[in-house]
């Protein structure tokens, strides 16, 4: 038995020896998970490359505004975690607070179907940040360029899907250990890049860039040519000068874009289990909050150093030329591969071994992150099968090897199909932000759930440590839910009304709409089929009267 004096001399509660009484999560572990989910290297650097959609916007301003805004989402989700601390996250919260049907549709679309699209996005990142730069470092530019072709992207995506599927099959135990060391290795790589960009001057970089691009791609005067090409009539791109000034409204338009990497500090909330006690809110919140702000801090450091050593205009011009080149608007100084800042920084040291080591170290950011691709999908498929919405087989685990065979099939096969579309259909490629939008919609309903929680489940709310948090008499967690609704509402408005995000077109809307229809059809079909089998699915979340 144990006692807890909560800082006083006399005990305020007694615990007897019983199963499940464990210490709280390590804040450091959940911080690492949140930081890896909002991954500045894999997702952030790729998204920074698309800033040319809003040339007068300031990335620095947008990153900071996004960080503050997403912090409210962290507050809202922390409230849900400590109030209904069940593994299952959005599915459990929405099912209990908003109803089973809505819970299933939002969880199936946001944590399962849309992950099919994330698979080729992960594959693209692996191609752009691992295979392409590594082949360049090996002095094989044509090999590197192959990885940027349709087939190259598709093959790398298949590799990614196979790796992520294998990790689900083998379980997370071994991977979680590797994941932590990958994070530390990635930080070491990050530190080396910081030192390089601090130690070398702009002129050093110009010289290194010109030498390497001449040697590898036959470019002449690559640095100046990049700036000239971007500003040419055909491309017509002039980025805003670096800083926090500039057009605030344009910077705000970058916020929905940056959600591609900053919206995920709560990715681990599907994993949280039995948590209780006032201090646990702080612990849950701290893990996600500091993970998010570590990412924001790393982003700011990178942008400042890019501006100092690469020159911000050059950095954005190189990105703009690369994107235009990919969409059939070639120019003489467009790099045939992703202008991966790590590769650019590695060129500052004229040593092939060093370059390869740095690229490998930074690839750990990817390998620490890839294992989570299908993890949440498995959980949603299992939960839906246990709720009898999917056939029993969907949750079946092979007796000998404990591999969830059918859930893997339900994840991997559609992902392979979408990978082919993403790789070979350049229009489909522009739907990348659909992957963010659909999950944001799921978050939106969780935010609505947290706002109405005190009214829908007053007893549950009263017993929650989250209900004690008040500011000027206003409960902080539901208020944070309102701000989160504002964030997602704003992003949805921009995504769906502004063509620059690539989301607002008929095919994209049909693609996303089809996912919601599919989820709804599955749910309604399950209701009918189970009813015929004598199983009433409406009972699942009906509360038994107490008195």
Partner 1 sequence: MKMFFATDIHGSEICWKKFLNAAAFYKADLVVLGGDVTGKVMVPIVAHHGYWEVTVRGERLRLDSREELLKVEQQLRDRGSYPAIVTSEELDQLSTQDAIDQRFNDEMTHSLDRWLDMADGKLRGGAIPCILNGGNDDIFEIDPILESAPSVTFAEGKVIDLAGSGFTMISMGYTNPTPWDTHREAPEEELAARIDAVAARVPDMNRTVFNFHAPPYGTGLDEAPELDASMRPTHGGAVMKPVGSTAVREAILKYQPPLSVHGHIHESRGVAKLGRTRTVNPGSSYGDGVLQAALIDINPKNGKVKYVLVNG
> Rule CB under 8 A: which of 273-312 touch partner 1?
273-274, 276-279, 287
Is 25 a residue that touches partner 1 (CB under 8 A)? yes
Q: In which residue are the tokens 């800042």 written?
A: 341
Least Å distance, CB 18 to partner 1, is 4
Least Å distance, CB 189 to partner 1, is 21
Is 173 a residue that touches partner 1 (CB under 8 A)? yes
Q: Candidates 165-173, 299-307, 313-321, 432-440 — which segment interacts with partner 1 by CB under 8 A?
A: 165-173
Member of 53, 64, 65, 87 binding partner 1 (CB under 8 A): 87
Member of 455, 471, 499, 542 binding partner 1 (CB under 8 A): 542
Is 32 a residue that touches partner 1 (CB under 8 A)? yes
Is 533 a residue that touches partner 1 (CB under 8 A)? yes
Least Å distance, CB 10 to partner 1, is 6
Site for partner 1, residues 214 to 273, rule: CB under 8 A:
268, 271-273
Member of 233, 328, 353, 459 binding partner 1 (CB under 8 A): 459
How many residues lie near partner 1 (CB under 8 A)?
79
Member of 218, 328, 472, 547 binding partner 1 (CB under 8 A): 547
Member of 212, 229, 387, 434 binding partner 1 (CB under 8 A): 387
The total of other beta-carbon atoms located within 10 Å of residue 138's CB is 13
Residue 4 bridge partners (DSSP): 13
> Contact at 8 Å (CB) between 273 and 86?
yes
Q: Which helix (H) or strand (E) holds 129?
A: none
Q: Candidates 3-11, 72-80, 297-305, 432-440 — which segment interacts with partner 1 by CB under 8 A?
A: 3-11
- Nearest of 273, 258, 236 to residue 92 by alpha carbon: 273
- 168 or 515: CB nearest partner 1: 168
Q: Strand 474-475 vs strand 470-471: parallel, antiparallel, or unpaired?
A: antiparallel
Is 395 a residue that touches partner 1 (CB under 8 A)? yes
Is 20 a residue that touches partner 1 (CB under 8 A)? yes
Is 184 a residue that touches partner 1 (CB under 8 A)? no
Member of 172, 304, 326, 482 binding partner 1 (CB under 8 A): 172
> Contact at 8 Å (CB) between 439 and 263?
yes
Q: Which long-range contacts (CB under 8 A, 24 or more apart) does 179-187 make?
A: 179/32, 179/36, 179/368, 179/371, 180/29, 180/32, 180/368, 182/364, 182/365, 182/367, 182/368, 183/32, 183/35, 183/36, 183/364, 183/368, 185/361, 185/364, 186/41, 186/361, 186/362, 186/364, 186/365, 186/368
Least Å distance, CB 382 to partner 1, is 7
- 134 or 477: CB nearest partner 1: 477
For CA atoms 132, 133, 134, 137, give the dihedral sign.
positive
Q: Which long-range contacts (CB under 8 A, 24 or more apart) does 11-14 make?
A: none
- 198 or 278: CB nearest partner 1: 278
**Token code pair at residue 531:** 């009813």
Least Å distance, CB 386 to partner 1, is 5
Least Å distance, CB 413 to partner 1, is 22
Q: Which long-range contacts (CB under 8 A, 24 or more apart) does 469-472 make?
A: 469/79, 469/281
Q: Is 102 exposed, middle or buried (0-12, 13-18, 19+ CB in 10 A)?
A: middle
Q: Candidates 5-13, 140-148, 324-332, 483-491 — which segment interacts with partner 1 by CB under 8 A?
A: 5-13
Site for partner 1, residues 398 to 437, rule: CB under 8 A:
399, 402
Q: Candidates 211-219, 248-256, 318-326, 381-389 — which segment interacts with partner 1 by CB under 8 A?
A: 381-389
Is 17 a residue that touches partner 1 (CB under 8 A)? yes
> Contact at 8 Å (CB) between 317 and 334?
no
- Nearest of 117, 126, 118, 116 to residue 41 by alpha carbon: 126
């Amino acid at each position: 038995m144990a006692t807890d004096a909560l800082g006083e001399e006399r005990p305020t509660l007694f615990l007897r020896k019983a199963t499940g009484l464990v210490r709280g999560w390590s804040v450091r572990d959940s911080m690492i998970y949140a930081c890896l989910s909002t991954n500045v290297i894999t997702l952030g650097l790729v998204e920074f490359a698309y800033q040319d959609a809003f040339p007068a916007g300031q990335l620095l301003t947008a990153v900071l505004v996004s960080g503050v805004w997403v912090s409210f989402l962290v507050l809202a989700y922390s409230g849900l975690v400590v109030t209904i601390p069940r593994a299952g996250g959005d599915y459990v919260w929405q099912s209990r607070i908003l109803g089973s049907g809505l819970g299933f549709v939002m969880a199936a679309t946001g944590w399962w179907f849309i992950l099919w699209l994330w698979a080729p996005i992960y594959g693209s990142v692996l191609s752009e940040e691992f295979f392409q730069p590594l082949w360049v470092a090996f002095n094989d530019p044509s090999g590197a360029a192959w990885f940027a072709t349709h087939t190259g992207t598709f093959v790398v995506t298949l590799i990614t899907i196979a790796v992520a599927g294998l990790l689900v099959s083998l379980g997370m135990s071994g991977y979680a250990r590797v994941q932590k060391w990958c994070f530390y290795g990635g930080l070491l790589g990050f530190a080396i890049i910081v030192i390089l960009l601090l130690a070398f001057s702009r002129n050093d970089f110009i010289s290194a860039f010109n030498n390497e691009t001449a040697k590898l791609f036959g470019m002449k005067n690559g640095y100046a040519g990049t700036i000239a090409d971007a500003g040419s009539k055909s491309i017509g791109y002039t980025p805003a000068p670096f800083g926090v000034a500039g057009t605030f409204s344009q910077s705000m338009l970058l916020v929905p874009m940056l959600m591609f990497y900053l919206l995920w500090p709560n990715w681990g909330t599907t994993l949280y289990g039995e948590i209780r006690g006032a201090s646990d809110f702080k612990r849950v919140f701290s893990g996600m909050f500091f993970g998010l702000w570590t990412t924001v801090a790393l982003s700011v450091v990178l942008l400042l150093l890019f501006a100092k050593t690469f020159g911000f205009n050059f950095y954005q011009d190189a990105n703009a030329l690369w994107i235009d080149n990919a969409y059939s608007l070639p120019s003489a100084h467009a790099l045939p591969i992703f202008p991966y800042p790590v590769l650019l920084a590695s060129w500052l040291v004229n040593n092939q071994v060093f370059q390869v080591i740095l690229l490998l170290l930074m690839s750990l950011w990817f390998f620490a992150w890839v294992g989570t691709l299908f993890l949440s999908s498995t959980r949603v498929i299992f939960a839906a099968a246990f709720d009898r919405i999917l056939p029993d087989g969907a949750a079946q685990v092979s007796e000998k090897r404990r591999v969830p065979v059918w859930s893997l099939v339900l994840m991997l096969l559609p992902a392979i199909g979408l990978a082919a579309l993403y790789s070979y259909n350049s229009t489909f490629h522009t739907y990348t932000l659909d992957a963010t939008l659909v999950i944001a919609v799921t978050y939106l309903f969780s935010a609505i759930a947290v706002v109405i929680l005190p009214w829908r489940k007053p007893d549950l709310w009263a017993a929650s440590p989250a209900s004690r948090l008040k500011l000027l008499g206003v409960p902080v967690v539901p208020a944070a839910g309102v701000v989160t609704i504002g964030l997602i509402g704003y992003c949805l408005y921009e995504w769906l009304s502004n063509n620059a995000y690539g989301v607002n077109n008929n095919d994209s809307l049909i693609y996303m709409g089809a996912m919601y229809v599919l989820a709804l059809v599955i749910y309604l079909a399950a209701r009918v089929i189970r009813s015929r089998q004598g199983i009433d699915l409406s009972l699942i979340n009906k509360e038994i009267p107490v008195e």
